[in-house]
A and B are shown apart, each in its own frame.
Chain A
Amino acid sequence: MSQQASQSFWQAAGKRLWRDNLAKFCMAILAIYFVLALASKFGLVAADWNKGVGVSFANPNFMADEPNPFGKNSQMKPESVPMDDATRAVDPLASYEAQIEEAAKAYPAVEEKRAWSLPLGGDKWGRDVLAKAIKGGEVSITVGVLAALLAVTIGTILGAISGYFGRVIGDVLEWFYSIFTAMPYFLLVLAIAGAVGTKGIAAVIIVLGLTGWTSVYRLVRAEYIKQRGREYVQAADAIGASQSRMMFVHILPNVSHLILVQLSQLVIDFIKAEVVLSFLGFGVPLDSISWGVMINEVTVELVLGKWWQLATVAIVMSTFVVCFGLFTDVLRDAFDPKATRR
């Protein structure tokens, strides 16, 4: 049966993953997202997302001919008032008129060329929704991944200590955990957001990381309690391996696949949490952009019947989340081939 080259657990899981067509599909989609996020990070795409390149609420390209109530007005030309004697009589600046005309010549009025329609439409300030979605994706994915890494690190270390040592140390950590989970989640998030103070992407990552470790902690703790009693750990003890070696060299590789699945689950959760936070105004600051900020802006637009920003961000975000969710699922199956019955 096994006269092939030796396969480690990870290689075998990777092979199983690669055999799964759904996994391949999801990985392809996710790869596009991550490449776009990286490209936007280095300014290769969507670098000028903040510039109004179209008219206010520019139509999407595929419905460029639709009437746009803001259409003609949206170039925001200053209204010209005819200067006659009656006006001059009341205008206190009338005597400086010649001077002003002279000064204005130094700044020739450049007619800004704005597009009437954009690929996926524009927002109130005429910014390109597509560029915003890409730039917003960069921020949202960064927040999701880094916050998930932070949460998993905290949860794994605390869970490992609690599960491995047990007794008093385990009890203390359990109390800590219970207090943390006793509070309503968003109240806790808002409280920590308030305590962290500074607003910005880093703050959001810290807030989500500090509140999201509990599920990982629970899982890792349970696994460590289980693995602690296994014979291979006793065998390591018998040959004189140190406590930290048993915890992190022996047991950790045996639970790491579970942690990885948790990690990808948390990425999804945190991307969604960031959206809610930004929607509530506690998320990334308004001068930057994320999927959550975009959804926040949408409330105003919908009243005016401008649906394209909502549609774009909803499709982009849910595609990512669904693909990541499916990927998490096939990842779990690949790690635990016995659990699948097809």
Chain B
Amino acid sequence: MTQKNLLEIKDLRVTFRMGQGQRFEALKGVNYVVPEHATVALVGESGSGKSVSAMAIMGLLPKSNTEFAAESQILFNGIDLLKETDDQRRARCGQQISMIFQDPMTSLNPVYRVGEQIVEVLMLHKKISKKAARERAIELLTEVGIPDPSKRIDSYPHEMSGGQQQRVMIAMAIACEPKLLIADEPTTALDVTVQKQIIELLKKLQRSHGMSILFITHDLELVREIADHVVVMQHGVIREQGASEALFEAPQDPYTRALLACRPHIDTRPLRLPVVDDFLQGREKDLPQGERSRGVGPADPIVLEVKGLSKTYTVKQGLFGHREVHAVKDVSFKLARGKTVGIVGESGSGKTTLGKTILRLHSCQGGEVLFEGKDLMKLSDKDYKPYKKRLNIIFQNPYASLNPRFTVGDILMEPMRVHGIFDSDKDRADHARELLKRVSMPDGAFFKYPHEFSGGQRQRISIARCLTMKPEIIVCDESVSALDVSVQAQVLNLLQELQEEYGMSYLFISHDLSVVKYISDEVLVMNQGQMVEYANSDQLYRDPQHPYTQKLLAAIPGRG
């Protein structure tokens, strides 16, 4: 190999001062290189330090509380970036190194047209006229695959879809022909089909521009297609690095093997998902073997039947006009006792609206939801209240769904107080403690506040809150989507155990087809408010009938 190294990270140690004398070591001596014309993937879960190392390259870490160790070096073409002045850095960023961020919707300035934002970058760094810059901007938009670029250049960011916004971000990033492009989770906020397109685009641009890409992600499977070299990080240290093929073929480090195994796989359905601890503590060989069989037969008792459910929003149009938007249109399915119906679809497909409408968190505009022969949609608010105990929901974002001013004890006892479960607060507190134990939370959690826990722990608290009411049906609205891969596996295992223990039925809403495949007996695919396919999950994944389902399945990373 005669490739020159474009970027060399040498013994990078970064410490943050947290105030009150506390220090947090974010990177504990990290070494890796990015060769010229190559793509290097930096993979790790939250807190692994992968983004910190990218920010250090860009010089974006806050100066006031960041300390670099004296021996640390970031060599870019042989120049140590850590020793550069601010002016030198500013001249380099955007010119030779540029970066794209996770969320295109917040990275683009909403009050300027996208063209103006690209033109600004070009005029700033290339010192060319406005007219020339605009022409170049149209070329760039063409290159990143924006349809009709000479018109779209005058759109505002909100007029574009998430995928198109990310394409614009990429156009801005490559505007000055950088040698190194840092992509920080560029596809995490996007739908799976769009994700595939963006990956293809990055691959194409990397080849045509001959640049290097540092690709940062939490999803190991995703980088299989794009990376030449993979670096796996955990808690600020590199666990393993190597050429992509070799690493995926025979991962050496147990943590790498764990990351690959924890993620539910589309082709298999183990009895229990392996978790990171299984690998780190050498229990790899003792994992339960065998596949779990799924599916609903005609003999299974039905607890909930949804018939032709519709939800419409009225949007004002013009001065007096109204327009109806169908968020959910004519959806029907049956949920059997102790089984799970998975609802998949991309953002805007109406899957979350469907779940919340069934629980009457949204109003409905047609259709029935039959529970014990009663149509829940027809009940008055007062008559519906007892049913709130029996049908419940676990939300997507464990950071937002727990009241920050309540202790965990209050959070768990509140539903019992509202519904008059148990006679005294003492009994309620005892029961709450039992449930905390059941979801593997430490007993001390009872008096703590939600902000003291990690995402996975908070989601366990949410689950415990649901369990206090002993519900028969739980709607899991993207309940594991915000969690790290290893935590996701633990929560999925917990949900599975609880289903077996209490015989609950789940309505599992997710954009992640692999997760849905793992947990669901039946799957309902939604697109733009309508159900496009509904079948037993094995059958649907083996033999998708609808072209939309086929397209979704083809876009799963690692499936070619």
Contacts and interface: CB of A to CB of B under 8 A. Distances in A.
Contacts of A9: 404-405, 449
A250 B403 contact: yes
Interface string A227-265: 000111011111111100100001001100000000000
B403 A254 contact: yes
Contacts of B448: 6
A7 B418 contact: no
Interface of A: 1-2, 6-9, 230-232, 234-242, 245, 250, 253-254
Contacts of B150: none
A232 B400 contact: yes
Interface stretch (B250-258, B372-380, B386-394, B506-514): B386-394
11 contacts: A232-B401, A235-B402, A235-B462, A237-B361, A238-B393, A239-B465, A240-B385, A240-B389, A240-B415, A254-B403, A254-B405
B452 interface: yes
Given A235-B402, A238-B361, A1 B418 contact: no
A236 B361 contact: no
A232 B401 CA distance: 4
Contact of B388 (A6, A240, A253): A240
Contacts of A2: 452
Contacts of A8: 405, 407, 449
A161 to B, nearest CB: 18
B449 A6 contact: yes
Contacts of A242: 418
Contacts of B403: 232, 235-236, 250, 253-254
Contacts of B401: 231-232, 234-235
B177 to A, nearest CB: 35
A240 B419 contact: yes
B225 interface: no
Contact of B392 (A231, A239, A241, A253): A239
A1 to B, nearest CB: 7
Nearest to A19: B20
A238 B415 CA distance: 9
Contacts of B405: 8-9, 253-254
B407 A6 contact: yes
B452 A238 contact: no
Nearest to A234: B361
Interface in B355-397: 356, 359, 361, 385, 388-389, 392-393, 395-397
Nearest to B384: A240
Contact of B359 (A230, A236, A238): A238
Interface in B478-520: none
Nearest to B398: A231
B480 to A, nearest CB: 15
A9 B385 CA distance: 32
Interface string B412-449: 00110011000000000000000000000000000111
Contacts of A237: 361
A1, A231, A234, A239: residue with the most chain B Cβ atoms closer than 10 Å: A239
A240 B468 CA distance: 13
A231 B361 contact: no
A1 B22 contact: yes
Given A6-B407, A234-B361, A250-B403, A239 B22 contact: no
A234 to B, nearest CB: 6
A195 B382 CA distance: 44
Contacts of B361: 234, 237-238
A295 to B, nearest CB: 43
A238 B392 contact: yes
Given A2-B452, A6-B447, A232-B401, A241 B414 contact: yes
A232 B419 CA distance: 18
B469 interface: yes
Contacts of B356: 234
B417 to A, nearest CB: 9
Contacts of A6: 407, 447-449, 452
B449 A239 contact: no
Contacts of A245: 418
A240 B390 CA distance: 10
Contacts of B24: 1
B449 A7 contact: yes
A9 B22 CA distance: 20
A7 B448 CA distance: 8
Given A239-B388, A240-B419, A253-B405, 15 more contacts: A2-B452, A6-B448, A7-B449, A8-B449, A232-B401, A232-B404, A234-B401, A235-B462, A238-B388, A238-B393, A239-B392, A240-B388, A240-B415, A240-B418, A241-B418
Nearest to B391: A238
Contacts of B402: 232, 235
Contacts of A231: 395-397, 400-401
B111 interface: no
A223 B449 CA distance: 22
**Interchain residue pairs A-B with the least CB separation, the first 7:** A240-B388, A253-B405, A231-B401, A231-B400, A239-B415, A232-B403, A6-B448
A188 to B, nearest CB: 34
Contacts of B359: 238
A235 B419 contact: no
A235 B389 CA distance: 12
Contacts of B18: 1
A246 B331 CA distance: 31
A230 B465 CA distance: 17
A230 B469 CA distance: 22
B18, B405, B415, B448: residue with the most chain A Cβ atoms closer than 10 Å: B405
A3 to B, nearest CB: 9
Contacts of B404: 9, 232, 254
Given A1-B18, A1-B22, A254-B405, A235 B418 contact: no
Contacts of A254: 403-405
A241 to B, nearest CB: 5
B414, B419, B469: residue with the most chain A Cβ atoms closer than 10 Å: B414
A2 to B, nearest CB: 5
A9, A240, A245: residue with the most chain B Cβ atoms closer than 10 Å: A240
Contacts of A236: 403, 414
A2, A9, A238, A241: residue with the most chain B Cβ atoms closer than 10 Å: A238
Contacts of B449: 6-9
Nearest to A241: B418
B359, B389, B395, B401: residue with the most chain A Cβ atoms closer than 10 Å: B401
Contacts of B395: 231, 234-235
Contacts of B400: 230-232
